[in-house]
Amino acid sequence: MAQTLDRLYSQLVSAAKVKRELLSASFELTSRCNLQCKMCYVCQNANDREGMAKELTTEQWISLAQEAQDLGLLFLTLTGGEVFMRKDFREIYQRLMMMGFILTIYTNGTLITPEIVNWLAAMPPYKVSITLYGASGETYKEVTGFADGYARTVRAIDSLLENKIPTDIKTTVVQGNKHDYDKLLDFAQQRKLDLGVVNYVSPRREGTNTDPIGNRLTPQELLDYEVHINERNMELGLLKRKDFSSSKESPRFFESGLAGTRVSRETSEAFHCLAGKTAAWITADGRLLPCGLLDGVKAFPLSKGLAAAWEELKQECDGISPCKECQGCLFQAYCEHCPARLLKETGQYTKNAPYLCELARKRKEAVNWDVI
Amino acid sequence: MKLKSGFLCREVAGQWVVVPLGERVVEFNGIMTLSESGALLLRTMENEVQEEELVQIVLNEYIVDEESARSDIREFVTSLKDNGLLIE
């Protein structure tokens, strides 16, 4: 009767895929953030009046959640921007918890106070997922613009853990924090946590004053980072060396980031993830997207209802052709291309992206040399 | 016996699940999966009910002998109790 959530999730995904039912979603409650990360794909300033005016109201989010529940939604992620920027976040969270969703909160952690920990502990989510942007105040200053963000985030993580609130940590690697991996891994190990790594930084979806492309690692730097991660994880016994040269699967140790979980490599499909199949994303201003990155297809649930918008979104996703060059590429098993990434990198769904191509080629070379 | 308040039984992707609502998550942090017959029983137990009524419901809905139905129901109820879902 009871089973692990991972196993149940897989089972539900398999069933939902057949019927194309909405099983999981992300609500981007705000695009505003108190940090100013150089690589952010969506960030608006904390006090951006225009952004604030466009945000859906409490009741609109609850209404969308009710519609989503009628469609089958069970797994719901609350994300931003920074969700704790919203003054009504507690009300939204608690009302969603009363609806029986399996809730995950994505946050930078810097605004989590002891009071917030207390009310979260009384009604804990499935998980609080915190992004650590570095292992020191200096790195935080460099990446996010705020040196005190580090101490605030560490306090939040420790307070959540002390109060037995399920918490995980991840980092997004960019130029400003690429040397912090070992310290971040130590931080995670000391707390008996895994450290997720978001390795892909996308060109901006929207927002202002950020420069993701200028701050992401080059393909060679990213490969070096991945090799280092693998070496450290093997040292710690977290990872066993595997011969990938005879496998169609490339080594994947990373968080999937915005574009969802990769689930298949059906060559006839443009999407290898659940976006537009069983998963969707609603932006702070109420657009229904397949995922947080892909704004090339969208529907408007506030005007036509979520059920109709979901049907429209699925049809639009089905109309996206796979990239033929990518399909025929020898390095495809080492690549993380998808319609969202190709669109953001090249402006088209069917054109290969030099950044992703070079990274895949370097990964393949590294495997041939047995570096990975 | 009766199901405690604060649990929701719903069908998701063809699978019946029970999820805790709000603060119930503190005592039951997870999801319980149920068969169709389990979901039928659980929804019946949202009101005070005796074992005999549950047996009759199963006998009315499914082709099963009474002894097997009663045995399965007792096992189901025990599992609900073990997971803290029932007021006795």
CATH class of A5-322: alpha beta
**Do the Cβ atoms of A328 and A279 come closer than 8 Å?**
no
3-state secondary structure of A235: helix
Q: How confident is the prediction for chain A on average, in pLDDT? A: 91
3-state secondary structure of B9: strand
Report angle CA A60, A63, A66 to the nearest 5 degrees.
Answer: 155
Distance CA A33, CA A171 (A): 17
Q: What's the confidence (pLDDT) of residue B28?
A: 85
Quick one: residue A346, left, alpha or beta (phi over 0 = left, psi -120 to 50 = alpha)? alpha
Q: What's the confidence (pLDDT) of residue A256?
A: 41
Which residue of chain A is at minimal alpha-carbon distance from B39? A1
Q: Which residues of B touch A278 (CB under 8 A)?
A: 13
Which residue of chain A is at minimal alpha-carbon distance from B19? A100
Query: A12–B12: do the CB atoms touch at under 8 Å?
Result: yes
Q: What's the confidence (pLDDT) of residue A171?
A: 98
Q: What's the confidence (pLDDT) of residue A267?
A: 57
pLDDT bucket at A330, cuts 50 / 70 / 90: very high
**Do the Cβ atoms of A143 and A133 come closer than 8 Å?**
yes
Ranges A195-204, A251-260, A261-270, most confident: A195-204
Lowest mean pLDDT among A87-96, A309-318, A361-370: A361-370
Query: Could you name the CATH architecture of B2-87?
Result: Orthogonal Bundle (1.10)
The more confident residue out of A264 and A331 is A331
Query: B23–A8: do the CB atoms touch at under 8 Å?
Result: no
How close, in Å, is residue A277 to chain B by CA atoms?
13
Lowest mean pLDDT among A257-261, B2-6, B77-81: A257-261
Q: What's the confidence (pLDDT) of residue A6?
A: 84
Query: B29–A124: do the CB atoms touch at under 8 Å?
Result: yes
Lowest mean pLDDT among A253-267, A292-306, A344-358: A253-267
Candidates B12, B21, B79; nearest CB to A72: B12
What are the sequence ranges of the domains in chain A? 5-322
Burial of A36 (0-12, 13-18, 19+ CB in 10 A): middle
* Number of CB pairs, chain A paired with chain B, less than 8 A apart: 67
Query: A122–B23: do the CB atoms touch at under 8 Å?
Result: yes
Q: What's the confidence (pLDDT) of residue A3?
A: 57
**Do the Cβ atoms of A33 and A44 come closer than 8 Å?**
yes
pLDDT bucket at A247, cuts 50 / 70 / 90: very low
Q: Which residues of A touch B22 (CB under 8 A)?
A: 94, 97-98, 123
Q: Could you report the per-residue pLDDT of B26-58, keeping only the tens digit for each?
A: 988 789 999 999 999 999 999 999 999 999 999
In chain B, the percentage of residues whose pLDDT exceeds 70 is: 100
What are the sequence ranges of the domains in chain B? 2-87
DSSP strands (E only) in chain A: 24-28, 32-33, 44-45, 75-79, 102-107, 127-131, 167-172, 195-198, 279-282, 288-289
Burial of A4 (0-12, 13-18, 19+ CB in 10 A): exposed
- Asked if ipTM goes beyond 0.95, one says no
Q: What's the confidence (pLDDT) of residue A243?
A: 43
Q: Could you report the per-residue pLDDT of A135-168, keeping only the tens digit for each?
A: 999 999 999 999 999 999 999 999 999 999 999 9
Residue A176 has pLDDT above 60, yes or no: yes
Q: What's the confidence (pLDDT) of residue A317?
A: 96
End-to-end CA distance of chain A: 41
Strand partners, A25: A76, A280
How many residues comprise chain B? 88
Q: List CB contacts of B19: < 8 A, sequence separation 6 or more.
A: A74, A100, A101, A102, B7, B8, B10, B31, B32
As a whole number, mean pLDDT of residues A182-196 equals 97
In chain A, the percentage of residues whose pLDDT exceeds 70 is: 90
Residue A2 has pLDDT above 60, yes or no: no
Distance CA B2, CA A28 (A): 39
Query: A12–B19: do the CB atoms touch at under 8 Å?
Result: no
Q: Which residues of B touch A94 (CB under 8 A)?
A: 22
Residue A372 has pLDDT above 90, yes or no: no
Strand partners, A195: A169
Q: What's the confidence (pLDDT) of residue A249?
A: 42
Query: A100–B10: do the CB atoms touch at under 8 Å?
Result: yes
Q: What's the confidence (pLDDT) of residue A74?
A: 97
Q: Which residues of B touch A74 (CB under 8 A)?
A: 12, 17, 19
